[in-house]
A and B are shown apart, each in its own frame.
Chain A
Amino acid sequence: MSSVSIRKIRKSFAGLTVLDSVDMEIAPGEFIVILGPSGCGKSTLLNVIAGLDDCDSGQIVIDAVDVSGLEPSQRGLAMVFQSYALFPAMTVRRNLSFGMEVAGTPKATIVQKVDWVAKLLQIEALLDRKPSQLSGGQRQRVAIGRALVRSSSICLFDEPLSNLDAKLRAETRVELKQLHETLKSTMIYVTHDQIEAMTMADRVAVMHKGRVEQFAHPQSIYEKPASLFVAGFVGSPAMNLLEGSLDGTGCFLVGLRSISSSAYPFENPSAGEAVLGIRCEDIGIVEPGSPDSIPAQLAFTELLGADALGWFDCLGKRMSVRLGVDAARSMAKEVGLRFDMAKASFFSAATERRL
Chain B
Amino acid sequence: MRTWLHRQTFRPDITVVVFFGVVAVFFYGSILWTGYMSLTRSTLIPNYNFAGFDQYIRLFTNQRWLVSCLNMVIFGVLYIVGTLAFGTLLSVFADRRIRAESLFRTIFLYPLAVSLIVTGLSWRWVLDPVNGLQGLVRGMGWESFTFDWLTDPDRAIYTLVIAGIWHSAGLIMVIILAGLRGVDDDLWKAIRMEGIPLWRAYLQVIFPGMRPVVTSCVVLLMSDVIRGYDLVIAMTKGGPGIATEMPAKFAVDYYFARVNLGLASAASISMLVLSLLLLAPYFYSEFRRRM
Residue pair B190, A73 in contact (C-beta under 8 Å): no
Instruction: Bin the interface of chain B by size.
Output: 10 to 19
A90→B187 CA distance, assembly (Å): 13
Residue pair B193, A78 in contact (C-beta under 8 Å): yes
Q: Which residues on B sit within 8 Å (CB–CB) of A229?
A: none
Among B187, B197, B204, point to the contact of A98 (Cβ < 8 A): B204
Residue pair B184, A83 in contact (C-beta under 8 Å): yes
Residue pair A102, B200 in contact (C-beta under 8 Å): yes
Residue pair A71, B211 in contact (C-beta under 8 Å): no
Among B187, B197, B208, B211, point to the contact of A102 (Cβ < 8 A): B197
A158→B185 CA distance, assembly (Å): 13
B73 within 8 A of A: no
B258 within 8 A of A: no
Q: Which residues on A sit within 8 Å (CB–CB) of B204?
A: 87, 89-90, 98
Q: Assuming A73-B193, A73-B194, A99-B196, what are 7 further A-B pairs, CB within 8 angstroms?
A: A72-B193, A72-B195, A79-B190, A87-B204, A98-B204, A98-B205, A150-B194
B7 within 8 A of A: no
Q: Given A83-B186, A85-B186, A103 and B193 touching (CB < 8 A)?
A: no
A305 within 8 A of B: no
> Residues of A with Cβ closer than 8 Å to B?
47, 50-52, 71-74, 77-79, 81-90, 98-99, 102-103, 146, 150, 158
A181→B197 CA distance, assembly (Å): 34
Q: Is the interface of B mostly helix, strand, loop or mixed?
A: helix
Residue pair A102, B205 in contact (C-beta under 8 Å): no
B46 within 8 A of A: no
Q: Which residues on B sit within 8 Å (CB–CB) of A72?
A: 189, 192-193, 195
Residue pair B211, A89 in contact (C-beta under 8 Å): yes
Residue pair A103, B195 in contact (C-beta under 8 Å): yes
Residue pair B193, A79 in contact (C-beta under 8 Å): yes
Residue pair B193, A102 in contact (C-beta under 8 Å): no
Residue pair B195, A50 in contact (C-beta under 8 Å): no
The smallest beta-carbon distance between B185 and chain A, in angstroms, is 8
Residue pair B196, A88 in contact (C-beta under 8 Å): no
The 18 listed contacts between A and B (C-beta, < 8 Å) are A50-B189, A71-B195, A72-B189, A72-B193, A73-B194, A81-B190, A85-B187, A85-B190, A86-B190, A88-B205, A88-B208, A88-B209, A90-B204, A98-B204, A102-B194, A102-B196, A103-B195, A146-B190
The smallest beta-carbon distance between B180 and chain A, in angstroms, is 13
A84→B190 CA distance, assembly (Å): 9
The smallest beta-carbon distance between B183 and chain A, in angstroms, is 9
A81→B194 CA distance, assembly (Å): 13
A103→B196 CA distance, assembly (Å): 8
Q: Given A81-B189, A85-B189, A88-B208, A98 and B184 touching (CB < 8 A)?
A: no
A252→B204 CA distance, assembly (Å): 67
Query: Nearest 10 pairs between A and B by C-beta?
Result: A73-B195, A89-B208, A88-B209, A99-B194, A85-B186, A81-B186, A85-B190, A85-B187, A83-B186, A72-B192
